[in-house]
Chain A
Amino acid sequence: MAGSLNVSVVSADQQIWAGEASMVVAKTVEGEIGILAGHEPLLAILAAGEVRVNASTGERLVARADDGFLSVENDTVTIVARDAELIK
């Protein structure tokens, strides 16, 4: 289970963050979901809450992404929200 995820966090007017990550944890309308490399393609609606990204560099970021969705395909994760912002 090597490999990493290609993550981008995108809001309506700009790309907020892009980079490699080992894990993404997001909260969808059905509950929390954790995504590792090799996850099956997924399209999910996000619930209000935080998205946590464990970057490959060891950095951990938390973004607020309300009212958006999450797509996973071929180890590419895109988190799209109208207003998204990095909390830290």
Chain B
Amino acid sequence: MGAQLRVYRSKIKSAQTTKKITRAMELISASRIQKAQQRVAASAPYSKAITRAVSAVATYSNVEHPLTSEREKLDTAAIVIFTSDRGLAGAFSSSILKEAESLAELLRSEGKKVEYFLVGRKAVAYFGFRRRAAVKSWTGGTDQPEFGTAKEIADAVVEAYNLDDDGGVDEIHLVYNRFVSMVTQVPEVTRLLPLEIVEGAAPEAPTNDVYPLYEFEPDAATVLDALLPIYVESRIFNAMLQSAAAEHAARQKAMKSASDNADNLIRDYTRLANNARQSEITQQISEIVGGADALASAKN
């Protein structure tokens, strides 16, 4: 076998092996999107109930709560960045990090100090490489978020928010990928605290119905006190679930195009290999013919 042919064959082999891996990852992601979407849907009743309750309390009582009131002096802002743990998901993590950077830039231009909370190994690696400090980070399980993690994150950000002037943060932003469809994931930036009570990210038009006059037990302030941290948790959990679904969708797309590229490579190299084989055969024939000619002419 000619040297050229051998080189092509080994390239085809390696493209085939890669394709096997990317195809498998594509299928795995495809099956996990379903599950992730179901989890987003399953958590919707919870966040809807909480949003409704919080809106009701906020509408019918004039309770001032630190989590809802805007501070006079805004000099520190925190950004919570939701990336993935693993790569091979196209621009999933990098688009989020880019979005976070531009948000940080904006906040800095308003004269605020920016602090970071990181979720996902990719964000941690990004910050580690640039030797930038983060207040706190969580890794592991971004593709199957647990409510416990959401609670930890919520506790940490609320605690940072409640700290007094020095060291505390005055507003908190979330940056995460929102799952729109199998092919689109949009980086989403929302301000978490101080709270603007909105209908959750769940697909539902804001309802304009009037909330009934509730009786609060024990009283409105206590109810609000108990509800707001839960609301924050549920918003963060929702962001994590959305991000997980988006991660699987992004990975599936990335792996599909990788498999397609591998197909193209294999096809091109097969052509070249065939070409090389053919020219080798042609050369061998012409050598034989030439040899036979030479022998024949030597006899005469």
Residues on A facing B (Cβ under 8 Å)? 8, 10-15, 28-30, 33, 40-45, 69, 71, 73-74, 78, 80, 82-83
B151 touching A44 by the CB < 8 A rule?
no
Q: Choose from B213, B218, B237 the contact partner of A29 (Cβ within 8 Å).
A: B218
Q: Kindly state whether residue B52 has any CB partner on chain A within 8 Å.
A: yes
Interface string of B194-230 (1 = CB under 8 A from A): 0000000000000000011111111000110011001
Q: Is the CB of B222 within 8 A of A45?
A: yes
**Contact status B215-A41, CB under 8 Å:** yes
How far is B238's CA from A46's CA once the two chains are assembled, in angstroms? 23
Q: B50 near A80 (CB under 8 angstroms)?
A: yes
> For the complex, what is the distance from the CA of A71 to the CA of B53, rounded to whole Å?
7
Further pairs besides A8-B45, A43-B217: 5, Cβ < 8 Å: A14-B43, A41-B213, A42-B217, A45-B226, A82-B147
Asked if B57 CB lies within 8 Å of chain A CBs, one says: yes
Complex formed: what's the CA distance from A12 to B48 in Å?
Answer: 11
Question: Are A43 and B57 interface neighbours, CB within 8 A?
Answer: yes
B56 on the A face (CB < 8 A): yes
Are A73 and B214 closer than 8 Å at their CB atoms? yes
How far does the alpha carbon of A44 sit from the alpha carbon of B59 in the complex, in Å? 16
Q: Is B39 an interface residue (CB 8 A)?
A: yes
Is residue B49 within 8 Å, beta carbon to beta carbon, of the partner chain? Answer: yes
Contact B42 A44, beta carbon cutoff 8 Å:
no
Given that A11-B46, A71-B52, A80-B50 are known contacts, is A42 also in contact with B147, CB under 8 Å in the complex?
no
Given A10-B45, A82-B233, A69:B226 Cβ within 8 A: yes
Classify the secondary structure of B's interface with A.
Answer: helix
Chain A CB within 8 A of B234 CB: yes
> Which of chain B's residues has its CB closest to A14's CB?
B42
Q: Say how far A6's CB is from chain B's closest CB, in angstroms.
A: 13
Residue of A nearest to B39 (CB): A13
Report B-chain residues with C-beta under 8 Å of the C-beta of A33.
217
Q: How large is the interface on B (under 10, 10 to 19, 20 to 34, 35 or more residues)?
A: 20 to 34
| With contact pairs A45-B223, A71-B49 given, residues A15 and B42 touching in the complex (Cβ less than 8 Å) | yes
A28 interface neighbour in B49, B212, B213, B217, Cβ under 8 Å: B217
Nearest CB in chain A: distance from B50 CB, A: 6
A18 to B128, CA, bound (A): 47
Distance between B231 CB and nearest chain A CB, rounded to angstroms: 11
The 8 A CB mask of B53-65 against A (1 = contact, 0 = none) is 1001100000000
* 25 A-B pairs (CB sep. < 8 Å): A8-B45, A10-B46, A11-B46, A12-B46, A12-B233, A12-B234, A13-B43, A14-B43, A15-B42, A15-B45, A29-B217, A40-B215, A41-B213, A41-B214, A41-B215, A42-B214, A43-B53, A43-B57, A43-B217, A45-B217, A45-B223, A69-B53, A71-B52, A71-B56, A82-B151
Residues B241-264 near A (CB distance < 8 A): none
